[in-house]
Amino acid sequence: MDTSKFFSLEGRVALITGGSRGIGKMIAAGYIAQGAKVYISSRKAPACEETAAELGPNCIPLPMDVSTVEGCKALAAALAEHEDHLDILVNNAGAAWGVPFEEFPESGWDKVMNLNVKSPFFLTQALHGMLKARSSYDRPSKVINITSIDGLRLNPWETYSYHASKSALIYLTKRMAARLIKDAIIVTSLAPGAFASEMNKAARDHGDQVAKGIPMRRIGTDEDMAGAAIFLASRASDYVVGDTLVVDGGLVNAALGTSIDA
């Protein structure tokens, strides 16, 4: 058995939404290091172009707002101007909204549910033809939905639509996987825990304090995220279908609950 190429992404074409910063940027850097050509997309063109310049010639900016179905279709059309197929799609663009229950607005509900649940579905739909153009059961294409441990456990903040959206996307991953496997397209989800980012400001600004509540006693690093995402994109995971890989230092699966001694 030759395992030397298990994690190689040489010759693969990837698209990462929300790829200009945070988790998306971590994944982009990892894919490029493994030999992939990576297109990154984000709503803000300057940030997208700046990150692409930083990551090198194998990172191509393709700015687009995917919060609407029209935006998803436009991104697919823009990619089709450069490539005739797509090997890896990472649905990472997302939003969060935290407001007390009594004040939680419809706008905060709709923004989060649209970007976190609706957009991954319709972007994958828009890219379906490119994803199956070269896919086979010997070399499947991959769709990776970036979910969250907040879809599996509660956090202490009043992020109602975020919790609901990430839980929904974990289950939607299974349903999409059941359909797209017919086209040799594997759909999985990656659920991050505490990684420093604009969305997770607690981990970014108070990492040492957050780390105290994590079984691994630290927040996640760029390498932790890249490693998990490379696994799901590579040959190493070709028999993993519809599952959610939790990357959180043990919060979901290795943290004990609390109890009151009698």
Report if residue 2 sits inside a domain. Answer: no
Report if residue 23 sits inside a domain. Answer: yes
Contacts of 171 (CB under 8 A, 6+ apart): none
pLDDT of residue 196: 82
User: Rounded distance, CA 215 to CA 193, Å?
Assistant: 12
Distances (CA, A) of 257 to 127, 212, 213: 42, 15, 12
pLDDT of residue 223: 97
CATH value at residue 77: 3.40.50.720
Report if residue 155 sits inside a domain. Answer: yes
Q: Domain tally for the chain?
A: 1
Give percent of the chain with pLDDT exceeding 90. Answer: 88
Active-site amino acid positions:
162
> For 29-33, 171-175, 207-211, which range has the lowest pLDDT when averaged over its residues?
207-211
Sole residue written with tokens 């803000």:
44
Report if residue 18 sits inside a domain. Answer: yes
Report if residue 7 sits inside a domain. Answer: no
pTM higher than 0.85, yes or no? yes
Report if residue 159 sits inside a domain. Answer: yes
Sole residue written with tokens 């997770």:
200
Q: Is 201 a residue whose pLDDT tops 70?
A: no
Q: Is 197 a residue whose pLDDT tops 80?
A: no
Secondary structure (DSSP) of the chain: ---TTTT--TT-EEEEETTTSHHHHHHHHHHHHTT-EEEEE-S-HHHHHHHHHHH-TTEEE-----SSHHHHHHHHHHHHTT-S--SEEEE---------GGG--HHHHHHHHIIIIIHHHHHHHHTHHHHHSS--SSS-EEEEEE--GGGTS--SS--HHHHHHHHHHHHHHHHHHHHHGGGTEEEEEEEE-SB-SSS-HHHHHSHHHHHTTSTTSS-B-HHHHHHHHHHHHSGGGTT--S-EEEESTTTTTS--------
Q: Is 82 a residue whose pLDDT tops 90?
A: yes
Q: Is 262 a residue whose pLDDT tops 60?
A: no
Report if residue 52 sits inside a domain. Answer: yes
Average pLDDT along the chain: 94
Domain that holds residue 209: 13-247
> Cα dihedral angle (110, 111, 115, 116), rounded to 10 degrees?
-70
Report if residue 260 sits inside a domain. Answer: no
Q: What would the mean pLDDT of 167-181 be, rounded to a whole number? A: 98
